[in-house]
Amino acid sequence: MRNLCLLILAALLAWACGRPAEDVSLSDEQPPLYPDYAGVTIPCNIAPLNFLLRNRPEAVDVLLKGASAELRLRTGYKVCFPPKKWRAFLNEEQGHTVSLTITVRIEGRWIRYAPFSWQITADRIDPYLSYRLIEPGYEVWNAIQLKERHLESFDERVIADNNLTQGACMNCHVYGNQDPALSFFHIRGARGGTILNRGGRLRKLTFRTEEMISPIVYGALHPLGRYGVFSTNVIVPAFHTLRGKQMEVYDTASDLVVFDFDTDRIIPFPSDTSRAQPLRSFPVFSASSDAVYYCEAPATSLPDSIHSLRYSLLRTPFDARNGSFGGPVDTLVSASATGLSVCHPKASPDGRYLMYTVAAYGAFPIWHTEAGLEMIDLESGEIHTLPQVNAPGADSYHSWSSGSRWFVFASRRDDGLYTKPYFAYIDSAGVAHKPFLLPQRDPTLYDHLLHSFNIPELSKGPLPFTPTDIERLYRK
């Protein structure tokens, strides 16, 4: 009998130590979360937003409470939601704002932090994300993988690996219209080329004419899949000697071309012989497929005048029926008027918005701490500076989800060194919400992963090829 009483007492003590007691101290502070998921808007089909508490409490009690459902979790300093319960909660609470209350035990005392909220939208995000994993150095680029992540879970797979292509450099993967059956990326080197995935069929393209400045570099695919628009650039990397500045990349010459995949025809960009050849780059088709957006800057002496190099955002009509340019060129954002340089324009699939990156100068904002995102309303002409989205530390490359409510972008806001993918919501009024970091099964992963996520791109489905398919095509 005595032993039984001791067992019951031990069980009660363990239970009491594992959950908050009634004498809980209330704090006005927010919990020290990483990632910072407080007050974010999330889609109803995202993987669990696992997080950790930086002060490493002895025990944690989490209450996730919605309009009709709740999810309670008792754990250590790493908070990882059970996937099945998480999915059930999001399905029940989509369209609602839910609250999170976190109570922790530190040195035997229980503290309840100020609660915060999550808005769960019924607007789904495209469920797949591709990106290039690479060390953020300047000389170690020979270990590169292109990967694909399922956003509704933590499943991840390799889609291309340069260990299978003789160490050749691989440029990042780009979709057309967020369609997994329409995409491309470049492999450099003697056996390289542009790997085109069109209708699930792979081709290696090595198009080049004497008139082209270089092989193709930046580019985008026509929404209907027949054309690709690309820049040809003479690219020069350079290094700063100033503290806090790492690297600069600029063009000494650049222009645009369109490639017709049906006829293997190269369509040159119209030239104006009455003026010096400007620098043109970062082309992309409009969502309506009848125009090309691109960035242009006057030719200048480089690198001497790098701090005065600024690109404007332009639009020129394109006739997809016969593959020709024609009509007036419009300036949407003038560098001389704003004092900023524009790059990486991307049209929302519904044709309403055009998002782009701005920096103080140049065409390589990835290492510019002042770089951020802006968005122009193509109906009203209003420019949104997106203060809810941008943060110090370089926000740059971005990609829309097919529903035009979500976008992903690359940011160095965490530590200034590694780019990570963040997701942000644009509501029906055109207002951007606070972004959230790509969730991971283990929330400590970002503390140990020594790679950057380059060129994050959203897709409606999984890609129809494997690294072995890419290796076979490369060696042909």
Burial of 8: CB neighbours in 10 Å, binned 0-12, 13-18, 19+: exposed
- Cβ-Cβ contacts under 8 Å for 1 (sequence gap 6 or more): none
Global confidence as pTM: 0.92
Tell me, what's the pLDDT at 2? 46
C-beta separation of 180 from 464 below 8 A: yes
If one counts every other C-beta atom within 10 angstroms of the C-beta of residue 357, the result is 28
Peptide bond into 270 cis (omega under 30): no
Tell me, what's the pLDDT at 7? 39
pLDDT at 6 over 70: no
Return the structure tokens found at 218. Answer: 């930046």
Domain locations along the chain: 19-121, 128-475
Flag the least confident range among 152-161, 205-214, 215-224.
Answer: 205-214
- The whole-angstrom separation of Cα 419 and Cα 422 is 9
Question: Which CATH number, 2.60.40.1220, 2.60.40.740, 3.40.50.300, 2.30.30.230, labels domain 19-121?
Answer: 2.60.40.1220
- The whole-angstrom separation of Cα 350 and Cα 364 is 28
Flag the least confident range among 14-18, 59-63, 217-221.
Answer: 14-18
Looking at the DSSP bridge assignments, the partners of residue 318 are: 325
Tell me, what's the pLDDT at 244? 63
Q: Quick one: what percent of the chain has pLDDT higher than 90?
A: 73
- The whole-angstrom separation of Cα 197 and Cα 207 is 16
C-beta separation of 195 from 204 below 8 A: yes
Sign of torsion over alpha carbons 260, 280, 383, 315: negative
pLDDT at 238 over 90: no
**Per-residue pLDDT reduced to its tens digit, 25-75:** 999 999 999 999 999 999 999 999 999 999 999 999 999 999 999 999 999
- The whole-angstrom separation of Cα 151 and Cα 90 is 14
Tell me, what's the pLDDT at 277? 86
Helix (H, G, I), strand (E, B) or coil at 266: strand
Question: Would you place residue 109 in the very low, low, confident or very high pLDDT band (cuts 50, 70, 90)?
Answer: very high
**Per-residue pLDDT reduced to its tens digit, 452-471:** 999 999 999 999 999 999 99
Average pLDDT over residues 405-413: 96
- The whole-angstrom separation of Cα 279 and Cα 431 is 33
Tell me, what's the pLDDT at 160? 95
Question: What value does the mean pLDDT of the chain take?
Answer: 90
Q: Quick one: what percent of the chain has pLDDT higher than 70?
A: 92
Looking at the DSSP bridge assignments, the partners of residue 284 are: 293
- Higher-confidence residue of 141 and 405: namely 405
Question: Which CATH number, 3.40.50.720, 2.120.10.30, 3.40.190.10, 3.30.565.10, labels domain 128-475?
Answer: 2.120.10.30
pLDDT at 188 over 90: no
- Residue 426 per-residue DSSP state: B
Consecutive H or E run containing 90: helix 83-93
**Per-residue pLDDT reduced to its tens digit, 253-303:** 899 999 999 999 999 898 776 667 899 999 999 999 999 999 999 988 888
Return the structure tokens found at 256. Answer: 């645009």
Tell me, what's the pLDDT at 455? 93
Average pLDDT over residues 368-391: 95
Q: Are strands 174-176 and 78-79 parallel, antiparallel or unpaired?
A: unpaired
pLDDT at 86 over 70: yes
Tell me, what's the pLDDT at 19? 53
> Side-chain half-sphere of 386: how many Cα atoms within 13 Å?
30
Consecutive H or E run containing 446: helix 445-448
User: Following DSSP, what letter does each residue of 360-412 receive, concatenated?
Assistant: SSSS-GGG-TT-EEEEEETTT-PEE--TTT--SS-EEEEEE-TTSSEEEEEE-
**Per-residue pLDDT reduced to its tens digit, 127-174:** 999 999 888 765 556 678 999 999 999 999 999 999 999 888 888 789
pLDDT at 1 over 60: no
Peptide bond into 435 cis (omega under 30): no
Return the structure tokens found at 300. Answer: 């200048």
- The whole-angstrom separation of Cα 441 and Cα 155 is 9
- What would you report as the CA-atom Rg of the chain, rounded to the nearest whole angstrom? 25
